Structure 1
Amino acid sequence: MAASKSATLEVEPFLHFDAEVLATLPIGESLVRVTFGGPGLREVTTCGPDQRIKIFLPRAGETSPRVPTGPDWYARYRDMPERERPVMRTYTIRSARPGQIDVDFVRHGDTGPASSWAGGAAPGDRAVIWAPNARFTDYAEGSRMGSDYAPPADTTWQLIAGDETALPAIGGIVEGLAEGERALVFLEVPTEADRQQWQTAGDVSVTWLPRNGVHAGGGSALLAAVRAAQLPEGPGYAWLAGESGLVRGLRRHLVGERGVDRKRIYFCGYWRQGKSEDAPHEPVGSED
């Protein structure tokens, strides 16, 4: 269990919050939305539509994960014996309300502990969530906490692309667009049933690319669709996330063949083909 003291709430930018499953809801064919609640979650904040958090899940035989807290929590977490260390995964907050947050999990059976947990989650199940602390105010101007969607002020169009692991962030980005903001969205998903409907004031074109049985990770349909797209004139901005090789291929295309300034592209590998769920997200960086 995580413990939060009032003094801690004033100084740490991220905290571990005890959370309880309130409800689950299938989203299309391949995702399940888990609504977490708890008194501590009233102190959770977000810095943008792609807000990343970490979720800790109990090990077999446990009702709640035992998670180190405090500024040095990660070092102590890594020092825990593997048989005692709780499962930790990175996810996106799909939406947040006072005392509640929604997190969309991709369901792919019992191939990993997080997918298995989400597929069987029920009200009353416990987890610990490491998320931004609403009471922490000591930020430099313009700083962000685990949220990277940041179009420059002069942006006239956006390209938003990813696979199903990026669906929660992309849904939040699209719903948050201001009136008339133009965005071209490309999404590779497992099946036709994974299409989603979003309410937005933006000028949005969405291209859904169902794999329909093709194994995840190739990304050829998504890359081909972006290659064939007619991009608008003027300064653009791209947000790319999903399988690591896919997003790097998209970025290379935009920089090398479309002439998009690499500084106007955010890209992140949420997962890597051939790697287990324990493989971490790849850091965002520059490529020549």
Structure 2
Amino acid sequence: MSQALPVTWVRVTDVERITPATARIGFTADELPGLLEDRPDQQLKLCLPRAGQTVPRLPEPEPEPDADDPYGMRWYEAFLAIPEAERPWMRSFTVRSYDRRRNVMTVDFVLHGDGGPASRWGAAARAGDVLGMVGPSSLYARPLPAARRMLLAGDETALPAIATVLEALPAGTAAVVFAEVAEAEEERELPSAAGGSEVRWVHRDRGGSLVAAVREAGPELDGVDAAWVAGESSAVRALRRHLVEERRLPRAAVEFSGYWRRALTQDDAPTEEDLAWAAERAADAP
């Protein structure tokens, strides 16, 4: 049976600057205990207010599951029906953690300093602020590939998900992490995998790039038999090709997700490359 994708309000409980350019923001809502699951990489969308709004205008939630809407997407039709001047900015995030005792979910905001709506809102967030939330939903859950030693690779946007994957790996799985950040000050402590883990930080201000670091890696990747890769779309595609075509990992052993697109936002229409990406990802789905 199909499920309606949940749409709800969330309220800020606390804000912590965990690095100079990353704000960790706590949210609560009465609905959270029924929405959040004990699994890694739970993705959701946050709806941010437009200029002049104190809270965003949300699409009406779907009243009932619809057999003709297996992925619960009718909310998006309602979202697009909101006049553009009033339609909230919508951005995707990953749940970093959920404290069931406090009923508080934390989400990390990367503060790019570019004046984008999510960066601007995150830099000014205060306790009591209210946003809209769409998801998360188990409809979009993808199991981690089985592995003895797993490569996790991503940029700042992927670090919350990488942390949850590290926490979720079974006892027999070790991990090696390649993480790209702007500079050394943006490094943060990551959990250790149950089977042990190594972390290599890649700094853009020193000319480093995630793709080059993984391509040029030597013994660090010995024994890697699966990978989880996320971040900027073109970098993720390049890494997936490298891992499948050059390092000979099975396609099904490489889980990948493009979280953002260089020079484009989620407000922009998908490109032909984006559509090809989505089709390829769907073809690899279990």
Structure 2 CA distance, aligned partners of 1:280 and 1:24? Answer: 32
Q: CA RMSD in A?
A: 2.4
Percent of aligned positions that are identical: 39
Which is helix-richer, 1 or 2? 2
Give 1:54's match in structure 2, choosing from 45, 51, 60.
45
Alpha-carbon displacement from aligned partner over 1:116-157 (angstroms, at most 9, x marks no partner): 001100011101112246xxxxxxxxxx433335113xx211
1:205 maps to what in 2? 198
Correspondence 1:176 to 2:168: yes
1:102 and 2:106 correspond = yes
**What do residues 221-260 of structure 1 show as CA deviations (whole Å, max 9, x unaligned)?**
22222122232337x1111111111011111111111111
DSSP-derived class of the 2:135 partner: strand
- Once residues 268 and 150 of structure 2 are traced to their aligned partners in structure 1, the CA distance between those partners, rounded to angstroms, is 30
Of residues 158-167 and 34-43 in structure 1, the stretch that sits farther from structure 2 once superposed is: 34-43
Q: 1:122: which partner in 2?
A: 126
Question: 1:81 corresponds to which residue?
Answer: 83
- Name the count of aligned residue pairs: 261
Match among 203, 215, 218 for residue 227 of structure 1: 215
Of 22-31 and 65-74, more deviation after overlay is shown by 65-74
Q: Among residues 216, 225, 241, which one is paired with 2:230 in the alignment?
A: 241
Gaps of 5+ in 1: 1-10, 134-143, 215-219
SS of residue paired to 1:145? helix
If the length of structure 1 is used for normalisation, what is the TM-score? 0.82
Q: Could you list the per-position Cα deviations for residues 44-67 of structure 1 after superposition, in whole angstroms to 9, with x for gaps in the alignment? A: 223621110011112222222221
Mean Cα deviation higher: 13-22 or 184-193: 13-22
Aligned equivalent of 1:90: 92
What's the offset of the Cα at 1:202?
3.0
Question: Are 1:59 and 1:87, in contact at CA under 8 Å, matched by a contact in 2?
Answer: yes
Q: CA deviation at 1:89?
A: 1.0
Superposed, which structure 2 residues align to 1:248-287 within 5 Å?
A: 248-279=237-268, 282=274, 284-286=278-280
**Which residue does 1:42 correspond to in 2?**
33
User: More deviation in 223-232 or 81-90?
Assistant: 223-232
Shift of 1:277: 4.8
Tell me if structure 1 keeps the 8 A contact 2:156–2:180.
yes
Larger deviation, residues 62-71 vs 181-190: 62-71
Q: Is the Cα–Cα contact under 8 Å of residues 17 and 41 in structure 1 kept in the other structure?
A: no
- Is the alpha carbon distance of 1:257 and 1:106 closer, same or farther for their aligned partners in structure 2, counting shifts above 3 Å? same
Q: Distance in 2 between matches of 1:203 and 1:175?
A: 11
Point out where structure 2 has 5 or more consecutive residues left out of the alignment.
Answer: 63-71
Q: Matches of 2:280 and 2:149 in 1, distance apart?
A: 22
